[in-house]
Copies of this chain bind each other. A is one copy, B any other.
Amino acid sequence: MSPQGPVIRSIPEGDDRERLVCGDCGFVLYENPKVIVGAVCTWDGKYLLCRRAIEPRLGYWTMPVGYMELNETTEQGALREVWEEAQARARIDALLAIYSIPEISQVHMIYRAPMTGPDFAAGPESLEVALFAWEDIPWDDLAYPNVRWSLEYEREMRGKSGFAPRGRPDRE
């Protein structure tokens, strides 16, 4: 039987918020918001998108994006995701956007990262990877609203630098 782990909500002594406590061993889990890092990558004016091979939103298209890991910078995390999901190399150019999603305690940090070579391929979490001209982007099959927001802001900021990262356009 797999362990239940910390699943009981209670306020530990000396604390002021509910935390998750393990009913088997008493361990208190201090949950924290999670950072998601990703990149809008381009080559020759076209956009690098991955079709998701995993749930949620299996079969839908996204820029390379995923959970930041321990012992990396946000920029390193974004480039790691570009490699893992799209087997492509890129360089960080600017921070395009920061999207807080407090309902699920996530902070998304999306970079602009031009590819440094033409190669790409589907990584283990992608069904396929492709470069799309703007007018060919599969707008109706994007995995999340923030994929569209990020692509649109990349296009708006093309050629510009030193700009502030965009927040959520649906909360402005």
A positions within 8 Å CB-CB of B: 2-6, 17, 22, 24-29, 31-35, 67-76, 94-95, 98, 100, 102-103, 105, 107, 109, 161-165
A25 to nearest B CB, angstroms? 4
CA distance A108 to B68 in the complex (A): 14
Task: Give the chain B neighbours of A103 by CB distance below 8 A.
Answer: 71
Copies held by the complex = 2
Among residues of B, the one whose C-beta sits closest to the C-beta of A21 is B3
A-B contact pairs, 8 of them (CB 8 A): A3-B25, A29-B29, A31-B70, A32-B35, A68-B107, A72-B100, A95-B164, A162-B164
Bound together, the chains give a CA A156 to CA B29 distance in angstroms of 41
CB–CB A33/B102 < 8 A: no
Residues on B with C-beta less than 8 A from A70 are 31-33, 105
Which residues of B are found within 8 Å of A105, using beta-carbon distances? 70-71
CB pair A32 B29 closer than 8 Å: no
